Structure formats: C-alpha cells, structure tokens
Chains A and B, each alone.
Chain A
Amino acid sequence: MLLWELVWKDLRRMFRSPFAVGMAFIAPLFITGLLVLAFGGISSGSSGMSAIRLVVVDLDQMIPGIVAKAGTIVTQVLSAPALSSLFRVSAVSNEETARRMLSGREADLALILPADFSQAAFIGDAQTRLIILHDPTLQVSPQILRSIVNDILDNFLGSRSAVSGALDALQAEGFSPDPALADQVVQRYLVWVNSLTPSAGGSGQVLETRSPTQPVSSKSNPFLALAMAGMMIYFVFYSGAAASLSILHEKEEGTLARLFVTPVAKAAVLGGKVLSALLLLVIQVVVLLVSSSLLFGISWGFPVSVVLASVGLVACAAGFGLFLMSWVSSSRQVGTVMGGVLTITAMVGGLFTVSIPNMPKAFQTAGLSMPQGWALQAFRLSLNGEGVLPELLPLAVLLALAVVFFVWGLARFRRRLA
C-alpha cells in the first residue's frame, strides 16, 4: 500500500516528463521507423501497410500461334503468393487510370507493359520498353520492381536463346529443321514457364529464388525485427538508468531527505524506487512490443518466449540502471554516464549492428559479454520462433545479472544515503 504510493508518485512524475516519455516510447519506434523507410518496406502514404501497391497496365497483344502472353506471365508472377508480402497487385486497363491512382496516392508504383511486349520477348524482332511510373520520393521500391521484372525477362530471353541455340546446333550437324519444329519447341518451353505461375498450379519457387533482391517486407525480414529489438533493448536500459537517476535527483532536490524524516523506513523508500523502475520498464516493453508489431508487422514469436525474454530484459535493465547510478555522485555527471556507458555497452552488446546481415559470428559471441547482448540473444531466439526451453539460458543469465546488480547497487545506495 505504502509502496504503491511511492511507486505511483514516481510513475506520475516520469510520465509528466516529455523527455522521459520521448526516450522511453517514441525514440525506439521512430528510429526503427526510419530504418523501415530506408529499407523501403513501407511505402509513403500507406499507413501500417508494408506491401507496395502496384498497378499493372497490361497492353500486351497475343501473338498468333503462341499460347502464352508475356504480359500475363509477368502479371501473374508479380501476384504470386511468394511476392504477396512485397506487392499488392491490381490491374487497370489504361495508363491514365494508373497515373490517376498514383497522383491520388491509391498506388505506389505503376508498371506499363506495352502492346508489343510478347513480340519483343518471344520473337525478339521488336525494340520495346517497359515503363515504371512512381512517386519521385520513392527510391527503393521502383528498384525492387525493376530488378524483379528484369529477372522475369531474363527467363524469356533465356528460353529464346535456348531454342535458337538448339536450332543452330542442329543446322551445324547438317540437319535442316522444320521451322514448325522450332515453333513447337518454343511453345513447349513457354508452357513450362507458364506452369511455374500460380494460375497453373505452380509454386513460383524458381522465380523467387532467382530474384536478386531479398523481399523487404518486415514480415519476412528478420533484420528489421532484430533492429527493433536492438532499439527496444537500448532504450529500456536507458529508461532503467533514468528511473534510478530519480534517486539522485530526489537527493539533490531534498525530497529524499524529506521522505527520510517521515516514519517510512529507508528500505521502503528504496524498494519503492526499484519497484517503480520495474513497473515503468514493463509498461515500456509492452507498449513497444505491441506498437512495433502493429506498425511494422513484426511478429515477436511465441507469447511464452516473448514474455520470458521481456522478463529478463526488464529485470536486468532495471538492475543495471540502479547499479550504474550508484556510481554517479551528482546528476551533473549523468550525461556522460548515460551517453557513454550505456552506448558503449550497447555497442559491444551488438544492439546497433544487429540489423546488418552476415555479420561475423564472433560479433554475436562478443556481444554476450554485455547484459544487453544477452537480452538481444533472448529476443533473437523468440524471433526465430524458439520455444520455452532455449529461452531459459538467456533468461537465467539476465536474472542472475539482475540480482547481482540490484544487490550491489542497493548496498551502495544504502551506504551513500546513510
């Protein structure tokens, strides 16, 4: 009851400080949001939607005698389930409509397939142009579209050169193949390509593995989720330190002395500080997990694993903050300590490099020399979809560190405030 009064006072003060709220809730989401924009995963104007809205204008004309139409194949490949998290495709009949949708921000990109597209792709006797229309502020998503379309076109060119190569070889051997045979070969090849597309029951796997760009939607991008985890851990540690900084502030403002002249035990006053730090961090982690999954589509893993990772993070960050502040003699030094120690330990812990793909394994191992590294490990496991058992190791390490930090930090504070 009394503890709750102390905690409630601290939480009220914390939530009335715009700076504290900004650092606890807004900064981590904002920085991750910037990363998302840089990756191009979220298109401008779409709120909370990670797929690029693509309109296809298919003006392609069927070539007599050939069963497939290049325009249809491209459209179908782009709408394949494997790419559904990247593109949301809709078709319109003419360029004007597409332009209108772009300027009305109903679409992010438009792909125009010209009338002689099949002619150019299958027969190769026409010069043609595919046109990608986009908002000039979009940089990344047009690139992605272009490389995927190029990839599809390579298939056609490949098929054409394969057939003509075969024909040339036959001719060199003295055969004079029937032009009808060549037609047949091309037709069969195109039927096969067609079978890869979903409408024909194919899986589209071949195209996906060949695409030169990783699909960038956050749902399928583990690096974005890890980046968010890194940011969350950094700012939860920050808030843990800020919560214990309030002990120093209250000491300097004299309100701590004032509490000590009331009949409330000194242990209760310090206990209240610990409890309010823990509670603040719990609120922070819950808000960050929920809002990042809503905003960026991050799925954090099995609920039990996420809870275990969060418990470890909260306990360890609160303990570390208390321990850190017990070494700071006045709140004037705090800028250096917060900026320096928290940032360096976070760096070594790997929080800032986590979203860089293909980092050497040694980095991850070195990160485990810091409490932040273990917190990151806990969330990495839960993001990988691990269950309870693998979570227990990082959880145990985080809780053990928390106990050490709490005991040591509290002992130091008790001595200082005696």
Chain B
Amino acid sequence: MRQETNDPVLEVDGLVKRYDPPKGVLAVDGVSFSIAPGEVFSLLGPNGAGKTTTISMICGLLSPTAGDAVIGGYSIRRQPAQAKMLMGVAPQEVAVYGDLSARENLSFFGRMYGLRGEKLTERVGEVLQTIGLADRARERVAKFSSGMKRRLNIGIALLHQPHLLILDEPTVGIDPQSRRHILDEVIALNRAGTSVLYTTHYMEEAQELSHTIAIMDHGRIIACGSHAELVKQVGEVDHLELVTSQPPEQALEVWKDVEGITKSFVQDGKTVLWARAGDALLPRLFERAASVGLRVLSVQVQEPNLESVFLHLTGRALRDT
C-alpha cells in the first residue's frame, strides 16, 4: 500500500504561527522542509524552539498564520480528512484514557481511524505486541508506569499504519530501558517503510535515528542536513577538552590567547578550547602550561557533534537552554 513514487511524504511550506495575534508570541517563523518516503526527519531544538507548534500545524490541530503542509498530496488546510488519515501522531504529553484499559484505548482510536471488525482486532493485537503491553492489555491505563503510558501513547499512532509517523519528544521523562525500547521501535518501523517526523532536544537521539536533522531555534530552522553535513559546518575546528591540576578558570586565563584558539570556555569542570585544525596546537599548549607551572592531567580531542553545531550557530549550548 506504500506509495512507490519518490514524491515527498510531507512537504512543509513557509509555516508561520503567531499565537494571539497581533501581539502574541511568534512561535514559528517561516519553516519549510520536506520528508522523502522512508526517511526519518528530526527537528532538534531547545525548549520553546517551536517544534510542537510546527507539528501541531502539520497535523491540523492549529491553523497556521501562514503557509501550508501537504501530506501525501493532500493539503492539511484544504483536505484535512484525507491528510489526517495518512498521519499517525503521538503528542508530546501522554494523551490516553486512564479509566480505559490499554486494549480499549487502542480499539477506540482504531475505530476513529476507520478500522472495524477483524482488521481492528488484528491491528490492536499487533500493536500491543509491538509496544510490549500484550500481557497488560486488560489493565486500566491509570495504573501504568509512565514508560508504559508513553509506549501506549505511541501505539495509538501506529494502529492505522500511517505513511507518516509523527513523534513529539517521545522519550521525555522516562527510564533508560523504556527509552531504548522506543528508539528501537522507531528504527524497526522505519525499516518497515514508515517515514518519521521526530522532535527532540537530545542530540544523541537525533543523531542515532535520523537521516535528516533540522536544527530549530526561535521558530526558525537554522541548519538542515544529514548529521555528517551538519558537523562539517564546524568540522574545520578542533575541539579539545583539558583537565588540569589547577581550577579550569585559571587554565583558561593561561591558554585563551594562545595563537590558533578561536573559542574557549569552561564546561563541566573542564577547559574547552576550539582551534583551527591543522595547527601544531598541543605542543604550544603544553609549552605555555609548563612556563607557569600548570599540570595537564588529561587531554581529549572531541569529535565535533550536533552540540557543537548548535553552539557554533547560536553561541549557546543546546543543553543549557
């Protein structure tokens, strides 16, 4: 049933959202991207970047101030029913009926997507297996752990085998085991052909799952590409983390004006230095340290990552915001 064409599953074109116009927050400020069939696309950004607002417009929950999203050829503004049929959405906040059982929740939402009879029973059974809740299916959801609720929250989005699965920060606030389970599930679903739109503020998740990552900040996409393409933007720079016998602030004073250093700061008790690649930096650092009696305990040369990309582009650390 999958489309065998290469037309994008989702095409987002100039989405803008201003809450409570004209003076309200400009939460999304002209976002455009597209998702190819079989692609996992992540929106990575700090709290308040506008990820949920973007997704809410795509799935028809919020009407955009401007722009449109087209899913499988159907505009969410003009053909919402057809467009919604192609999407499965797991909202950021768990949204399930606590006083119904897991099976009742799945059956109910399955019917909302038009599943009936044997097909419905079959899909509910399969999804219960997928999310690992088959043996708890009859229990009221209110008694579930938060990890189990999150899995059910995702399960509801899978019932009607959508072309595009939208997961809004599905791993927030749960234990590592449940988190791993969810990530593996996303990978498996994607292998089976589902396209995924994933939002997160964990760069590790974006890196592991995605074919394409869009970094969002203040309602805009500030960079977009594969992980390799993104880190290349800062890839010309070496990234060093040093631990010294003296306090890192003192070491920073010693090293910050060494030739070739482009950026220096203290993070997690370490002195972090960025420098143009290719320079014979390390001998110069040790030389300077020896001259003032500073002992270097360890040096780590860090691979550039999405964190450094974000820092590079915004001047702020992703995890601090």
Contact = CB atoms under 8 A, between A and B. Distances in A.
A2 interface: yes
Given A5-B111, A254-B91, A257-B61, A263 B99 contact: no
Interface in B169-221: none
B99 A254 contact: no
Contacts of A17: 99
Contact of B109 (A2, A16, A253, A262): A262
Interface in A11-37: 12-13, 16-17
A290 interface: no
A261 B96 contact: no
A418 B91 CA distance: 18
Interface in B71-104: 80-82, 84-85, 87, 89, 91, 93-100, 104
A259 B61 CA distance: 10
Contacts of B108: 5, 9
The interface size bin for chain B is 20 to 34
Contacts of B109: 258, 262
**Among the interface residues A9, A253, A261, which one has the most CB atoms of the partner chain B within 10 A?**
A261
B111 A263 contact: no
A67 to B, nearest CB: 75
A254 B95 contact: yes
A260 B61 CA distance: 7
A188 B255 CA distance: 133
A9 B108 CA distance: 8
B87 A261 contact: yes
Interface residues of A, number: 20
B19 interface: no
A5 B95 contact: no
Interface string B263-275: 0000000000000
A354 B98 CA distance: 40
A264 B82 CA distance: 10
Contacts of B98: 253
B89 A265 contact: no
B103 to A, nearest CB: 13
A205 interface: no
A97 interface: no
B91 A265 contact: no
B24 interface: no
Contact of B112 (A253, A254, A264): A264
A263 B81 contact: yes
Interface of B: 59-61, 63, 80-82, 84-85, 87, 89, 91, 93-100, 104, 108-109, 111-114, 156
